[in-house]
């Protein structure tokens, strides 16, 4: 089974911005139910459909497949739940791991979250000094929940 083990953190400051180039992401949800998330994402010039199962601890099933860009654009424009999530993603290598920092726009403007994917929930890793408080277990920060209650409404 494909698994995603992810931890999320807030950031202390903006030093991370000098370490990478952001790529635009536009994503929407066909289903945002906690038991089954179905996401459409355009990431640069690539388009994907992703299916995720319920999160248990920090782990959930994840299946991701490429789809035609035109199909993804139509799904985002005409079928996905509103609002669409718009963000810039920065990929920043640190201590042998890859950190992804998402800078949200639109209804979630002002929110910035760092994520790291692990091979096991107890896998040790080093945090950059610009990474702050962990929010892995705070459901408000799940992307699928940001369409139900955007950051601007917190």
pLDDT tens readout for residues 121-146: 999 999 999 999 999 999 999 999 99
- pLDDT, residue 68, reads 98
Q: Where do the domains of the chain lie, and which CATH numbers do they carry? A: 3-153 (2.40.320.10)
**Catalytic positions, written as ranges:** 29
128, two tokens: 């950059």
55, two tokens: 């999160």
- pLDDT, residue 20, reads 86
How many CA atoms lie less than 13 Å away from 4 in the CB half-sphere? 17
Whether pLDDT at 1 is above 70 = no
48: CB partners within 8 A, 6+ apart: 40, 41, 64, 65, 66, 67, 72
From CA 88, how far away is CA 22, in angstroms rounded? Answer: 5
- pLDDT, residue 65, reads 98
- pLDDT, residue 143, reads 92
Q: Write down the residue that tokens 């040790």 correspond to.
A: 124
From CA 69, how far away is CA 42, in angstroms rounded? Answer: 7
pLDDT tens readout for residues 33-91: 989 999 999 999 999 999 999 999 889 999 999 999 999 999 999 999 999 999 999 99
Size (the chain), residues? 154
């Amino acid at each position: 089974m494909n698994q995603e083990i992810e931890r999320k953190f807030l950031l202390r400051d903006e030093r991370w911005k000098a370490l990478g180039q952001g790529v635009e992401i536009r994503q929407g949800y066909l289903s945002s139910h906690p038991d089954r998330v179905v996401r459409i994402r355009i990431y640069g010039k690539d388009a994907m459909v992703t299916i995720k199962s319920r999160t248990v601890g920090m782990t959930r099933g994840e299946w991701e497949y490429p789809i035609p860009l035109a199909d993804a654009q139509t799904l985002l424009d005409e079928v996905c739940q509103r609002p669409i999530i718009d963000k810039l993603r920065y990929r920043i290598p640190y201590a042998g791991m890859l950190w992804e920092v998402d800078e949200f726009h639109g209804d979630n403007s002002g929110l910035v979250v760092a994520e790291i994917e692990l091979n096991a929930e107890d896998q040790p890793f080093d945090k950059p000094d610009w990474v702050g408080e962990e929010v892995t277990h705070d459901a408000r920060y799940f992307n699928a929940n940001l369409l139900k209650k955007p950051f601007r409404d917190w």
